[in-house]
Amino acid sequence: MANLAQTRSEPAAGPTAAETDAYLRLGLRNRWHPVLPSRFVADKPIGIRRMGERIVLWRGPGGAIRAMADRCPHRGAPLSLGRVADDRIACWYHAVEIGADGTVLCVPGEPGCSLEGKRLVKTFPAREVKGAIFLWMGDALHPDPAPYTPPPQLQEGAYDAFLSYQEWKTPWRFLYDNNMDPMHGQFLHAQSHSMARGERKAEFAIRATDTGFVFAKTTQKDVNFDWSEWCDAGAIYCRLEIPYPASGGPGGNFGIVFHAVPIDEGSSACFFWRFRKVSGWQRDAWRFLYKTRLEARHFAVLEQDRAIAEGMDADADRAEHLYSHDGGVVRMRNILRAEARAQLKALRAAGLDPLAKSEA
Ligand code: FES
Ligand SMILES: [Fe+2]
């Protein structure tokens, strides 16, 4: 099998390949990213880290998600340790109050102080999709969100989906590599209930789509994990389908919509929506079977992926020897790098350098 070289030509000007990769270690900006299952956020503030940033979340009137930098503008205490009331958050340290739009509303220790009325805390546009909170993670040049229409599998209608959320100690890019690599199903998951059948050899082809591409076996279809799709449509994600055996009950193929967002450079938050095209009684059967039998099996399969991903060194992709089955991974990496390089170049042109900032 021919060795598959990755196209990494150094640009004449602008960020180098190494700088682009360093920038990408904290994820791709200017996209909607899921950050947490909806059920994790209630009336109390909760602090998380995503793409290296500390973020506090809470629910305002009517349950609307509020999200802002988890850093008090006074002396930097975590706002997530504070208290929420009347759609404002009060820092625990000296009780400075911040409104939902990031404005300092009150400095109790010094009423009328110049902080009051200033918008000093960065906020994040938020929305909820199929049981998860998505935030717009824009860069400094793109604070306003781009449109994002969730795929049909995450909308009400023909599909039914369960969300599985996990945090893995591995860089986010390895997780997307794993999802754009259908061939591992035939080996790593060979003992599973849904990936035990089919050929151990395959050829692949890439088909472009409006939002990315499909990487699919040309030698086998609807037998095993035979294709995966890369999508970039306001949010980045993968989508795949695997046929179920008869023991999986009635309905269409089993499928996954997958997102990963970096927590930091070495760990990631993973969102697996496990879906099936079902309606009526088949939908009820799917929901019952999933909860009583299938969820545990999928969890066991996922643990195999986790063992591989967490077992890899953080720079495992520094020296690889790829072959044609890695064509989807290569295409995706090239897309991500081109986009990241453009972002980094624009930020630098505006006098902003996120790499310099992270080293400060
Ligand atoms: S650090 Fe938050 S009020 Fe002082
Ligand atoms: Fe897998």
Identify which of 89, 96, 97 to mutate to test ligand 1's pocket (most ligand atoms within 8 A of the CB).
96
**CA–CA dist 324, 330 (Å, integer):** 10
Q: Which ligand is nearest to the CA of 300?
A: 2
Q: Which CATH class is domain 41-128?
A: mainly beta
Q: Tell me how far the alpha carbon of residue 179 lies from the centroid of ligand 2, in angstroms.
A: 7
Question: Other C-beta atoms within 10 Å of 81: how many?
Answer: 15
* pLDDT attached to residue 145: 97
Q: Whose CA is nearest to atom 4 of ligand 1?
A: 94
pLDDT score recorded for residue 12: 55
Q: What is the pLDDT of residue 4?
A: 53
Q: How many CA atoms lie within 13 A of 161 on its CB side?
A: 28
Q: How much is the average pLDDT of 202-212?
A: 97
pLDDT score for 359: 45
Compute, in angstroms, the gap from residue 78 CA to the centroid of ligand 1.
9
The CATH code of domain 152-337 reads 3.90.380.10
Give the ligand 1 atom nearest the CA of 82: 2
According to DSSP H, which parts of 125-224 are helical?
Answer: 172-179
Task: Tell me the HSE value of 48 on the side-chain side, using a 13 A CA sphere.
Answer: 22
Q: How do residues 56-105 score in pLDDT, each as one tens digit?
A: 999 999 999 999 999 999 999 999 999 999 999 999 999 999 999 999 99
Lowest mean pLDDT among 55-64, 190-199, 347-356: 190-199
Q: Is the pLDDT of residue 32 over 90?
A: yes
Task: State mean pLDDT over 30-44.
Answer: 96
Per-chain mean pLDDT for the chain? 93
**Confidence class of residue 248 from pLDDT cuts 50, 70 and 90?**
confident
Per-domain residue ranges for the chain?
A: 41-128, 152-337
Please tell me the least confidently modeled range out of 93-97, 171-175, 283-287: 283-287
Provide the pLDDT for residue 9.
52
Helix axes 295-311, 172-179, angle to 10 degrees: 120
Write out residues with Cβ below 6 Å of ligand 1.
72, 74-75, 77, 91, 93-94, 96
Model's pTM, two decimal places?
A: 0.94
Q: What is the phi-psi region of residue 293: left when phi exceeds 0, alpha when psi lies from -120 to 50, beta otherwise? A: alpha
Residue 107 CA: nearest ligand 1 atom is 3
Of residues 96, 64, 68, 61, the one with CA closest to residue 82: 96
CA of 153 to the centre of ligand 2 (A): 20
Whether 8 shows a pLDDT value over 60: the answer reads no
Smallest-distance ligand from the CA of 71: 1
Closest residue to atom 3 of ligand 1, CA basis: 94
Atom in ligand 1 nearest the alpha carbon of residue 94 = 3
Q: Could you give the count of Cα atoms lying within 13 Å of 151 in the half-sphere of its Cβ?
A: 26
pLDDT above 80 (res 194): no
The yes-or-no verdict on residue 39 having pLDDT over 60 is: yes
Task: Write down the pLDDT at residue 18.
Answer: 95
Q: Is 24:30 a contact under the CB 8 Å cutoff?
A: no
Distance set, CA 278 to CA 130, 150, 251, 286 (Å): 16, 18, 5, 8
Q: What's the CA-to-centroid distance between 185 and ligand 2, angstroms?
A: 6
Mean pLDDT computed over 181-205: 89
Q: Average pLDDT in the 277-306 region? A: 93
Distance CA 265, CA 278 (A): 38
Tell me if 273 sits within 8 A of 154, measured CB to CB: yes
Q: How many CB atoms lie within 10 A of CB 169?
A: 12
Residue 360's pLDDT is: 40
For residue 283, pLDDT beyond 90 = yes
What is the number of the ligand closest to the CA of 80?
1
Dihedral of CA atoms 259, 264, 266, 270 in degrees, nearest 10, equals: -20
> Is the pLDDT reported for residue 193 higher than 90?
no
pLDDT, residue 357, reads 59
Going by pLDDT thresholds of 50, 70 and 90, the confidence category of residue 192 is: confident
Q: Ligand 1 test: best mutation among 56, 70, 89, 91, most atoms within 8 Å of CB?
A: 91
pLDDT-derived band at 215 (thresholds 50, 70, 90) equals very high
Q: What is the pLDDT of residues 313-348, one digit of tens each?
A: 999 999 999 999 999 999 999 999 999 999 999 999
